[in-house]
Structure 1
Protein backbone atom coordinates (compact mmCIF):
# COMPACT_ATOMS: atom_id res chain seq x y z
CA UNK A 1 0.00 0.00 0.00
CA UNK A 2 1.17 3.57 -0.61
CA UNK A 3 0.66 4.13 3.11
CA UNK A 4 3.72 2.00 3.83
CA UNK A 5 6.21 4.01 1.75
CA UNK A 6 7.01 6.73 4.34
CA UNK A 7 7.39 4.06 7.04
CA UNK A 8 9.68 2.09 4.71
CA UNK A 9 11.91 5.15 4.21
CA UNK A 10 12.13 5.57 7.97
CA UNK A 11 13.43 2.02 8.29
CA UNK A 12 15.90 2.64 5.46
CA UNK A 13 17.36 5.59 7.34
CA UNK A 14 18.36 3.16 10.09
CA UNK A 15 19.03 -0.01 8.06
CA UNK A 16 20.81 1.99 5.37
CA UNK A 17 22.61 -0.97 3.79
CA UNK A 18 19.61 -3.29 3.68
CA UNK A 19 18.26 -4.66 0.45
CA UNK A 20 14.70 -3.62 -0.44
CA UNK A 21 11.61 -5.45 -1.55
CA UNK A 22 8.32 -3.92 -2.63
CA UNK A 23 4.90 -5.49 -2.92
CA UNK A 24 2.13 -3.50 -4.57
CA UNK A 25 -1.13 -4.31 -2.81
CA UNK A 26 -4.43 -2.49 -3.07
CA UNK A 27 -8.00 -2.74 -1.91
CA UNK A 28 -10.70 -3.18 -4.54
CA UNK A 29 -14.12 -2.48 -3.11
CA UNK A 30 -17.00 -4.75 -4.13
CA UNK A 31 -19.42 -2.69 -2.06
CA UNK A 32 -19.05 0.22 0.33
CA UNK A 33 -17.79 -1.97 3.19
CA UNK A 34 -16.55 -5.10 1.38
CA UNK A 35 -13.27 -5.34 -0.47
CA UNK A 36 -10.66 -7.75 -1.72
CA UNK A 37 -6.92 -7.15 -1.55
CA UNK A 38 -4.95 -7.65 -4.75
CA UNK A 39 -1.22 -8.05 -5.23
CA UNK A 40 -0.02 -6.72 -8.59
CA UNK A 41 3.71 -6.25 -8.40
CA UNK A 42 6.66 -7.71 -6.53
CA UNK A 43 10.22 -6.41 -6.73
CA UNK A 44 12.57 -8.28 -4.43
CA UNK A 45 16.02 -9.76 -4.19
CA UNK A 46 16.31 -13.44 -3.30
CA UNK A 47 15.16 -13.92 0.30
CA UNK A 48 16.59 -17.35 1.10
CA UNK A 49 18.24 -17.31 4.53
CA UNK A 50 17.80 -13.56 5.02
CA UNK A 51 16.04 -11.53 7.68
CA UNK A 52 12.80 -10.13 6.29
CA UNK A 53 11.29 -7.01 7.85
CA UNK A 54 7.78 -6.25 6.55
CA UNK A 55 6.58 -2.77 7.46
CA UNK A 56 3.08 -1.31 7.35
CA UNK A 57 2.05 1.65 9.51
CA UNK A 58 -1.46 0.32 10.18
CA UNK A 59 -1.99 -3.40 10.77
CA UNK A 60 -5.79 -3.58 10.83
CA UNK A 61 -6.83 -7.14 9.95
CA UNK A 62 -3.53 -8.80 9.05
CA UNK A 63 -4.88 -10.22 5.78
CA UNK A 64 -2.97 -7.78 3.53
CA UNK A 65 0.19 -8.50 5.50
CA UNK A 66 -0.29 -12.23 4.97
CA UNK A 67 -0.91 -11.80 1.22
CA UNK A 68 2.23 -9.69 0.93
CA UNK A 69 4.22 -12.27 2.87
CA UNK A 70 2.92 -15.11 0.67
CA UNK A 71 3.91 -13.10 -2.42
CA UNK A 72 7.40 -12.53 -1.02
CA UNK A 73 7.83 -16.26 -0.41
CA UNK A 74 8.02 -16.64 -4.20
CA UNK A 75 11.45 -14.99 -3.84
CA UNK A 76 12.73 -17.49 -1.27
CA UNK A 77 12.40 -18.55 2.35
CA UNK A 78 13.70 -16.02 4.87
CA UNK A 79 15.49 -17.24 7.98
CA UNK A 80 13.73 -14.71 10.24
CA UNK A 81 10.61 -12.57 9.84
CA UNK A 82 9.83 -9.30 11.60
CA UNK A 83 6.59 -7.37 11.14
CA UNK A 84 6.67 -3.71 12.15
CA UNK A 85 3.63 -1.48 12.55
CA UNK A 86 2.91 1.85 14.19
CA UNK A 87 -0.59 0.78 15.24
CA UNK A 88 -1.99 -2.75 15.21
CA UNK A 89 -5.45 -3.98 16.09
CA UNK A 90 -5.86 -6.84 18.51
CA UNK A 91 -7.64 -8.76 15.73
CA UNK A 92 -4.62 -8.36 13.42
CA UNK A 93 -2.21 -9.57 16.09
CA UNK A 94 -4.29 -12.71 16.58
CA UNK A 95 -4.48 -13.22 12.80
CA UNK A 96 -0.71 -12.84 12.36
CA UNK A 97 -0.08 -15.31 15.18
CA UNK A 98 -2.15 -17.90 13.28
CA UNK A 99 -0.99 -17.10 9.72
CA UNK A 100 2.77 -16.62 10.13
CA UNK A 101 5.50 -18.98 11.33
CA UNK A 102 5.66 -19.24 15.13
CA UNK A 103 9.07 -17.58 15.32
CA UNK A 104 7.83 -14.39 13.61
CA UNK A 105 8.41 -11.25 15.68
CA UNK A 106 5.68 -8.59 15.64
CA UNK A 107 6.60 -5.04 16.65
CA UNK A 108 3.79 -2.51 17.21
CA UNK A 109 4.04 0.98 18.64
CA UNK A 110 0.58 0.60 20.15
CA UNK A 111 -2.40 -1.74 20.00
CA UNK A 112 -5.98 -0.58 19.51
CA UNK A 113 -8.85 -2.90 20.37
CA UNK A 114 -11.27 -2.23 17.54
CA UNK A 115 -11.60 -2.08 13.76
CA UNK A 116 -14.66 -0.58 12.08
CA UNK A 117 -16.82 -1.87 9.22
CA UNK A 118 -14.32 -0.43 6.69
CA UNK A 119 -11.48 -2.39 8.35
CA UNK A 120 -9.87 0.75 9.74
CA UNK A 121 -8.36 0.71 13.22
CA UNK A 122 -10.38 2.65 15.82
CA UNK A 123 -9.29 5.13 16.99
CA UNK A 124 -6.18 4.62 14.81
CA UNK A 125 -4.93 7.42 12.59
CA UNK A 126 -7.42 7.34 9.75
CA UNK A 127 -6.15 6.44 6.27
CA UNK A 128 -2.35 6.54 6.54
CA UNK A 129 -1.96 6.81 2.75
CA UNK A 130 -4.30 9.80 2.61
CA UNK A 131 -2.44 11.41 5.52
CA UNK A 132 0.89 11.02 3.72
CA UNK A 133 -0.17 11.83 0.15
CA UNK A 134 -3.63 13.37 0.18
CA UNK A 135 -7.04 11.89 -0.49
CA UNK A 136 -7.35 9.77 -3.65
CA UNK A 137 -9.87 11.12 -6.13
Structure 2
Protein backbone atom coordinates (compact mmCIF):
# COMPACT_ATOMS: atom_id res chain seq x y z
CA UNK A 1 0.00 0.00 0.00
CA UNK A 2 1.26 3.46 -0.91
CA UNK A 3 0.81 5.70 2.15
CA UNK A 4 0.92 9.49 2.00
CA UNK A 5 1.17 11.40 5.30
CA UNK A 6 0.14 14.92 4.39
CA UNK A 7 0.67 16.77 7.69
CA UNK A 8 4.33 15.83 8.08
CA UNK A 9 5.22 19.19 6.55
CA UNK A 10 3.73 22.21 8.31
CA UNK A 11 0.97 23.95 6.38
CA UNK A 12 -2.46 25.48 6.92
CA UNK A 13 -3.71 21.88 7.12
CA UNK A 14 -2.32 21.55 10.64
CA UNK A 15 -4.19 24.72 11.63
CA UNK A 16 -7.51 23.19 10.59
CA UNK A 17 -6.62 19.83 12.19
CA UNK A 18 -6.00 21.59 15.50
CA UNK A 19 -9.37 23.31 15.34
CA UNK A 20 -11.41 20.17 14.67
CA UNK A 21 -9.81 18.54 17.73
CA UNK A 22 -10.31 21.51 20.08
CA UNK A 23 -13.27 20.86 22.41
CA UNK A 24 -14.01 24.59 22.63
CA UNK A 25 -14.18 24.93 18.85
CA UNK A 26 -16.17 21.70 18.44
CA UNK A 27 -19.19 23.36 20.05
CA UNK A 28 -19.78 25.13 16.73
CA UNK A 29 -20.93 22.33 14.40
CA UNK A 30 -20.99 24.62 11.36
CA UNK A 31 -17.34 25.54 11.93
CA UNK A 32 -16.47 21.87 12.42
CA UNK A 33 -18.10 20.94 9.11
CA UNK A 34 -16.38 23.82 7.32
CA UNK A 35 -12.97 22.84 8.66
CA UNK A 36 -13.51 19.23 7.60
CA UNK A 37 -14.48 20.53 4.16
CA UNK A 38 -11.30 22.65 4.01
CA UNK A 39 -9.23 19.61 4.97
CA UNK A 40 -10.92 17.74 2.12
CA UNK A 41 -9.91 20.47 -0.30
CA UNK A 42 -6.27 20.30 0.82
CA UNK A 43 -6.27 16.52 0.58
CA UNK A 44 -7.83 16.66 -2.88
CA UNK A 45 -5.08 19.03 -4.03
CA UNK A 46 -2.33 16.77 -2.67
CA UNK A 47 -3.94 13.67 -4.17
CA UNK A 48 -4.28 15.39 -7.54
CA UNK A 49 -0.49 15.33 -7.88
CA UNK A 50 -0.66 11.52 -8.28
CA UNK A 51 -3.24 11.51 -11.08
CA UNK A 52 -2.68 11.18 -14.81
CA UNK A 53 -2.83 14.29 -17.00
CA UNK A 54 -3.19 14.94 -20.70
CA UNK A 55 -1.96 17.79 -22.87
CA UNK A 56 -4.59 20.25 -24.03
CA UNK A 57 -4.74 23.55 -25.90
CA UNK A 58 -6.83 26.37 -24.45
CA UNK A 59 -8.05 29.29 -26.54
CA UNK A 60 -7.48 32.56 -24.67
CA UNK A 61 -8.61 36.02 -25.88
CA UNK A 62 -5.08 36.56 -27.22
CA UNK A 63 -3.89 33.16 -28.37
CA UNK A 64 -3.44 29.47 -27.58
CA UNK A 65 -2.05 28.17 -24.28
CA UNK A 66 -0.59 24.65 -24.16
CA UNK A 67 -1.37 23.16 -20.74
CA UNK A 68 -2.66 19.99 -19.06
CA UNK A 69 -5.93 18.63 -17.65
CA UNK A 70 -6.86 15.56 -15.61
CA UNK A 71 -7.11 12.55 -17.89
CA UNK A 72 -8.90 10.23 -15.47
CA UNK A 73 -12.57 9.56 -14.80
CA UNK A 74 -12.98 10.02 -11.04
CA UNK A 75 -15.64 8.63 -8.72
CA UNK A 76 -15.83 10.06 -5.21
CA UNK A 77 -17.45 7.70 -2.70
CA UNK A 78 -18.01 8.51 0.96
CA UNK A 79 -19.28 6.53 3.92
CA UNK A 80 -22.44 7.99 5.46
CA UNK A 81 -22.87 10.13 7.39
CA UNK A 82 -19.55 11.30 8.75
CA UNK A 83 -17.94 11.45 5.31
CA UNK A 84 -20.29 14.08 3.86
CA UNK A 85 -18.39 17.24 4.83
CA UNK A 86 -15.08 15.74 3.71
CA UNK A 87 -16.77 14.62 0.49
CA UNK A 88 -17.84 18.21 -0.18
CA UNK A 89 -14.23 19.35 0.05
CA UNK A 90 -13.23 16.84 -2.61
CA UNK A 91 -16.21 17.84 -4.78
CA UNK A 92 -15.06 21.47 -4.63
CA UNK A 93 -11.86 20.48 -6.45
CA UNK A 94 -12.93 17.49 -8.58
CA UNK A 95 -15.99 19.19 -10.00
CA UNK A 96 -16.38 16.74 -12.90
CA UNK A 97 -16.29 13.67 -10.65
CA UNK A 98 -19.18 11.27 -10.28
CA UNK A 99 -20.33 10.55 -6.73
CA UNK A 100 -21.36 7.56 -4.66
CA UNK A 101 -22.53 7.04 -1.08
CA UNK A 102 -22.48 3.96 1.14
CA UNK A 103 -23.70 3.31 4.67
CA UNK A 104 -21.62 1.37 7.19
CA UNK A 105 -21.84 1.19 10.95
CA UNK A 106 -20.70 -0.78 13.96
CA UNK A 107 -23.41 -3.23 15.02
CA UNK A 108 -22.89 -4.23 18.67
CA UNK A 109 -24.75 -7.51 18.39
CA UNK A 110 -24.16 -8.51 22.05
CA UNK A 111 -24.67 -5.01 23.48
CA UNK A 112 -21.03 -4.88 24.57
CA UNK A 113 -17.77 -3.74 22.98
CA UNK A 114 -17.80 -6.50 20.34
CA UNK A 115 -19.13 -5.44 16.95
CA UNK A 116 -19.47 -6.31 13.29
CA UNK A 117 -19.63 -3.91 10.36
CA UNK A 118 -22.94 -3.78 8.52
CA UNK A 119 -23.14 -2.29 5.01
CA UNK A 120 -26.83 -1.79 4.25
CA UNK A 121 -27.09 0.91 1.57
CA UNK A 122 -25.12 1.93 -1.49
CA UNK A 123 -25.82 4.37 -4.30
CA UNK A 124 -22.91 4.58 -6.70
CA UNK A 125 -22.25 4.95 -10.41
CA UNK A 126 -20.16 2.31 -12.09
CA UNK A 127 -16.46 2.85 -11.44
CA UNK A 128 -15.03 0.03 -13.50
CA UNK A 129 -11.86 1.32 -15.21
CA UNK A 130 -12.23 4.59 -13.30
CA UNK A 131 -10.31 6.10 -10.40
CA UNK A 132 -12.16 5.47 -7.13
CA UNK A 133 -11.53 7.84 -4.21
CA UNK A 134 -12.97 6.47 -0.96
CA UNK A 135 -13.61 9.16 1.65
CA UNK A 136 -14.00 8.62 5.40
CA UNK A 137 -12.81 10.98 8.17
CA UNK A 138 -11.64 8.40 10.72
CA UNK A 139 -9.56 5.26 10.18
CA UNK A 140 -9.85 3.38 13.49
CA UNK A 141 -9.96 -0.42 13.16
CA UNK A 142 -10.17 -0.23 9.36
CA UNK A 143 -13.01 -2.73 9.30
CA UNK A 144 -15.58 -0.29 7.90
CA UNK A 145 -13.44 0.71 4.95
CA UNK A 146 -12.55 -2.88 4.11
CA UNK A 147 -16.19 -4.01 4.41
CA UNK A 148 -17.37 -1.19 2.14
CA UNK A 149 -14.67 -1.74 -0.45
CA UNK A 150 -15.28 -5.48 -0.51
CA UNK A 151 -18.97 -4.81 -1.10
CA UNK A 152 -18.28 -2.32 -3.89
CA UNK A 153 -15.67 -4.48 -5.60
CA UNK A 154 -18.21 -7.28 -6.00
CA UNK A 155 -19.68 -5.35 -8.94
CA UNK A 156 -16.95 -2.97 -10.09
CA UNK A 157 -13.28 -3.11 -11.02
CA UNK A 158 -11.67 0.33 -10.61
CA UNK A 159 -8.48 1.24 -12.43
CA UNK A 160 -7.03 2.66 -9.22
CA UNK A 161 -8.14 3.07 -5.60
CA UNK A 162 -7.32 6.03 -3.37
CA UNK A 163 -8.49 6.17 0.26
CA UNK A 164 -8.63 9.55 2.00
CA UNK A 165 -8.91 9.79 5.80
CA UNK A 166 -8.44 12.73 8.14
CA UNK A 167 -7.18 10.85 11.21
CA UNK A 168 -5.74 7.33 11.32
CA UNK A 169 -3.99 5.05 13.80
CA UNK A 170 -1.35 2.37 13.13
CA UNK A 171 -3.80 -0.47 13.87
CA UNK A 172 -6.20 0.68 11.15
CA UNK A 173 -3.43 1.23 8.63
CA UNK A 174 -2.09 -2.26 9.25
CA UNK A 175 -5.59 -3.73 8.80
CA UNK A 176 -5.86 -2.06 5.39
CA UNK A 177 -2.42 -3.34 4.43
CA UNK A 178 -3.50 -6.87 5.35
CA UNK A 179 -6.85 -6.84 3.55
CA UNK A 180 -6.59 -4.53 0.52
CA UNK A 181 -4.60 -4.71 -2.74
CA UNK A 182 -1.02 -3.53 -2.38
CA UNK A 183 -1.39 -0.92 -5.13
CA UNK A 184 -3.98 1.12 -3.20
CA UNK A 185 -3.09 4.66 -2.13
CA UNK A 186 -3.88 5.75 1.43
CA UNK A 187 -3.92 9.48 2.16
CA UNK A 188 -3.69 10.41 5.85
CA UNK A 189 -4.04 13.98 7.07
CA UNK A 190 -2.93 13.11 10.65
CA UNK A 191 -1.55 9.99 12.31
CA UNK A 192 -2.62 9.47 15.94
CA UNK A 193 -1.28 7.20 18.69
CA UNK A 194 -3.53 4.17 19.07
CA UNK A 195 -6.99 2.75 19.74
CA UNK A 196 -8.44 2.56 23.24
CA UNK A 197 -10.22 -0.49 24.68
CA UNK A 198 -13.44 0.54 22.86
CA UNK A 199 -11.60 0.90 19.53
CA UNK A 200 -11.80 4.69 19.50
CA UNK A 201 -8.88 6.78 18.27
CA UNK A 202 -6.60 8.40 20.86
CA UNK A 203 -6.25 11.36 21.11
CA UNK A 204 -8.62 11.65 18.14
CA UNK A 205 -11.44 14.15 18.17
CA UNK A 206 -14.57 12.24 19.21
CA UNK A 207 -17.36 11.11 16.87
CA UNK A 208 -16.97 13.05 13.61
CA UNK A 209 -20.55 12.36 12.52
CA UNK A 210 -22.03 13.61 15.79
CA UNK A 211 -19.83 16.71 15.80
CA UNK A 212 -20.83 17.58 12.25
CA UNK A 213 -24.54 16.71 12.30
CA UNK A 214 -25.66 16.22 15.91
CA UNK A 215 -25.98 13.25 18.23
CA UNK A 216 -27.67 10.11 16.91
CA UNK A 217 -29.87 7.67 18.80
TM-score by length of structure 1 reads: 0.95
- 5+ residue gaps in structure 1? none
2:178 is aligned, of 85, 98, 102, to 98
Residue 122 of structure 1 and its aligned partner are, at CA, apart by 0.4
- Counting matched residue pairs gives 137
Answer yes or no: is 1:56 the counterpart of 2:142. no
| Structure-1 separation of matches of 2:105 and 2:142 | 14
| Structure-2 separation of matches of 1:66 and 1:84 | 13
Answer yes or no: is 1:38 the counterpart of 2:150. no
Residue 72 of structure 1 and its aligned partner are, at CA, apart by 1.1
Give the equivalent residue in structure 2 for 1:126: 206
Residue 47 of structure 1 and its aligned partner are, at CA, apart by 1.4
Give the equivalent residue in structure 2 for 1:20: 99
| Structure-1 separation of matches of 2:152 and 2:94 | 19
2:151 is aligned, of 44, 67, 71, to 71
Greater Rg by CA: 2
- 5+ residue gaps in structure 2? 1-79
TM-score by length of structure 2 reads: 0.61
Answer with 25-34 or 45-54: which moved more: 25-34
Residue 32 of structure 1 and its aligned partner are, at CA, apart by 3.1
- Does the residue aligned with 2:84 lie in a helix, a strand or coil? helix
Answer with 113-122 or 82-91: which moved more: 113-122
- Does the residue aligned with 2:177 lie in a helix, a strand or coil? helix
State the Cα deviation string for residues 98-121 of structure 1 (Å, max 9, x = none): 111111010001111211122211
Residue 19 of structure 1 and its aligned partner are, at CA, apart by 0.5
Answer yes or no: is 1:2 the counterpart of 2:89. no
Q: Is the 8 A contact 1:45 1:75 kept in 2?
A: no
Residue 16 of structure 1 and its aligned partner are, at CA, apart by 1.1
| Structure-1 separation of matches of 2:199 and 2:93 | 30
Q: Is the 8 A contact 1:44 1:75 kept in 2?
A: no
Q: Is the 8 A contact 1:47 1:75 kept in 2?
A: no
Give the equivalent residue in structure 1 for 2:67: none
Residue 31 of structure 1 and its aligned partner are, at CA, apart by 2.2
